[in-house]
Structure 1
Amino acid sequence: MPHGSSHAPRPAGAHRVVVVVDANSNPFELGCATEVFGLRRPEIGRDLYEFALCSPEPRTLMRDGFFTLTGVAGLEAAEAADTLIVPNRPDVEVPRRPAVLDAVRRAHARGARLVGFCSGAFTLAEAGVLDGRRATAHWQWADSFRARFPSVRLESDVLFVDDGDILTAAGSAAALDLGLHIVRRDHGAEVATAVSRRLVFAAHRDGGQRQFVERPVPDLPDESLAPVLAWALERLDAPLSVADLAARAAVSPATLHRRFRAQLGTTPLAWLTAERVALACRLIERGEARLEVVARRSGLGTAARLRTLMRRETGITPSAYRTRFGRR
């Protein structure tokens, strides 16, 4: 390659994730991509992805000149990507390099999955691949984005958007949320949970949660949701209701709802449903084939409700999930 080389090779046939880094790119999102897709996974027993960084220049000055990135592959590495993560940077009004935009267009044309973290949505929109599609970006750039790209269906108050072959995250920690969502989509809930455990990060935050959480750190220790969440996670198979959670937290349902919105950006019922579906996925991955048993042990009640909620939360049926992620 003209400059640098890719990450150490992974086994042949692995899904190849390539991150394009350009001038003034944000190091945080680059670190998120490396953590989720680039690290070895001895705790899982196999590597999940083949990973590489690439750049159009031999030396890339990162955001605000914090450091210079060298020794990575040239832009031609993007041609081999199964998933291409596009550059993001804070100077959203500055056009992206034509060579980078061309690489994005070629990747899209050949069916590669495209991912934009934070202002990466601007790169995708400039390349023309978001026209008529759903996307998100950091809330502070929502007005600018809509003015420049009116044909894109921007959802400015969510953590991330999965629009099939194009996925976008709102920025900062939402890049980790989207990265784990992609791992879950590719390898199942069990593997995604293992990766999140290594990251010491929440295993599952739904993309529809709000970007801005009013009180990410509660003012008073006794307002933390952690105790009631831990209590509920041990009892997902029980007929828990929002009223039960509120009683455990010793608050009214309305107060509990406000605290969930403030601390997690979601509702108690939505959180409880998502956790039950995640448990159902893990049970299927571990080999439980009887849907009635999965439904009962995950607290979803019936096989019919399990089918409905799994399709809503994961996009596929329990049988399709078993085919894809179940034990061989």
Structure 2
Amino acid sequence: MRIVVLALDGLFDTGLAVTLDSLGAANKLAARLPGATPRFDVTVVGVRKRVRSGHGFAIPVQPITPNLKPDWVIVPALGTTTPDLLIPALARADVRQAIAQLQQWHAEGALIAASCIGTFLVAEAGLLDHRQATSTWSLAPLFRQRYPNVSLDESRMLVASDIGVTAGAAMGHLDLALWLIRKASPELATLVSRYLLADIRSLQAPYIIPNHLAAADPLIQRFERWARDHLKEGFSLQVAANALATSARTLQRRCQEVLGKSPLAYFQDLRVERAQSLLHGSGLDLEAIAAEVGYVDGATLRTLLRQRLGRGVRELRADLR
């Protein structure tokens, strides 16, 4: 498999390192498996001759030449973690050149893989339009605002589509690399996972911080504060809207635009977050925790936790020890 890693100035050091280390480990461990095992021919390229990482380390890059025909192109994240840094970075000349190169490679048949903020470059190229994708959960409101034609689901760690695959925040680079290895050889991916003490995670949901997302919009931030004070009560969209001096329609629309979900779904997110906190430190049993977050019994809460986080109560308590 011919893989090109597209390196840009100011990229996230760990994202690049974990990608290269994972694929390098796969090549070394392939010899331990019987039969013909695929290898990964990895080339790090840059649109500039000299590229430095976010921490200022020089990255040895190869030039992009016409005879470079990758099967996959990996786009590591830029080290810009806030909208005020990311938006200007997307307008940089080298970034715009990289986006044009992604479009060309895609037109020539290459598949595109990106994690975290790297997904913004793929979206800028228009390659995610009318497709499902994921991205770093912390910038999901900006992603939705900037790319309304993309069906974003930041609760998922990996989303594959016909153009390639997108992955979630920061260490999603590792999940992405393991996914690529598994696509070539499930046996090799299992071996690499064991050596790295890592495996593909299906969800970002357990890591999402709801109030961080709410801070992207004043109305949603006010809704979040109101909701936390009323978790024990049954949710009413009209009651919430009245309390915030807005209309139910406006609250519904803003939640969808900023969070990609309904006010009720976000209210349930806050219940789940509070329940996780109580599972960790309160000493309460599940029935008492359910009452604290507005559910009539523990079974309902147990089902919601499994649906939202992909883990049961026993697993969550074990994770938090």
TM tier, smaller? 0.5 to 0.7
1:158–1:210 CA contact under 8 A, matched in 2: no
Residue 147 of structure 2 corresponds to residue 161 of structure 1: no
Q: 1:27 aligns with which of 13, 16, 30?
A: 13
Question: What is the 5 A alignment of 1:292-303?
Answer: none
Does structure 1 conserve the Cα–Cα contact (< 8 Å) formed by 2:3 and 2:40?
Answer: yes
Which is higher, the Rg of structure 1 or of structure 2?
A: 2
Residue of structure 1 in register with 2:71 after alignment: 82
**1:26 Cα shift?**
0.6
1-structure distance, mates of 2:207, 2:7: 24
Per the TM alignment, residue 39 of structure 1 is displaced from its structure 2 partner at its CA by 3.7
The reply to whether residue 37 of structure 1 matches residue 23 of structure 2 is yes
- Is residue 178 of structure 1 aligned with residue 176 of structure 2? yes
What is the CA distance between 1:268 and its match in structure 2? 4.9
Alignment of 1:1-328 (within 5 A): 15-39=1-25, 41-45=27-31, 48-63=39-54, 66-76=55-65, 79-89=68-78, 90=80, 91-94=85-88, 95-96=91-92, 97-188=95-186, 190-202=187-199, 204-206=200-202, 210-212=206-208, 265-268=309-312
Give aligned pairs, total. Answer: 219
CA distance 1:48–1:146, change in 2 (3 Å): same
Q: Percent of counterpart pairs with the same letter?
A: 24
AA at the equivalent of 2:45: C
- SS of the residue aligned with 1:81? coil
TM-score for both structures, normalised by structure 2: 0.59
Secondary structure of the residue aligned to 1:175 is helix
Q: Which has the higher contact order (CA 8 A, sep 6+)?
A: 2
Cα distance, 1:207–1:199 mapped onto 2, change above 3 Å? same
Retained in 2: the 8 A contact 1:18–1:85? yes
**Deviant stretches of 4+, over 6 Å:** 213-216, 252-262
Change (3 A) 1:103 1:38: farther
CA distance in 1, matches of 2:205, 2:66: 34
CA distance in 1, matches of 2:202, 2:124: 27
Normalising by structure 1, what TM-score? Answer: 0.58
Q: Distance in 2 between matches of 1:196 and 1:68?
A: 28
Contact residue 30 and residue 188 of structure 2 kept, 8 A: yes
Unpaired runs of 5+ residues, structure 2, are: 32-36, 210-272, 282-297, 316-321
Gaps in structure 1 of 5+ consecutive residues: 1-14, 221-251, 272-328
* CA RMSD, 1 decimal: 3.2
Query: Shift of residue 175 of structure 1?
Result: 1.9
Query: 1:79·1:107 contact (CA, 8 Å) conserved in 2?
Result: no
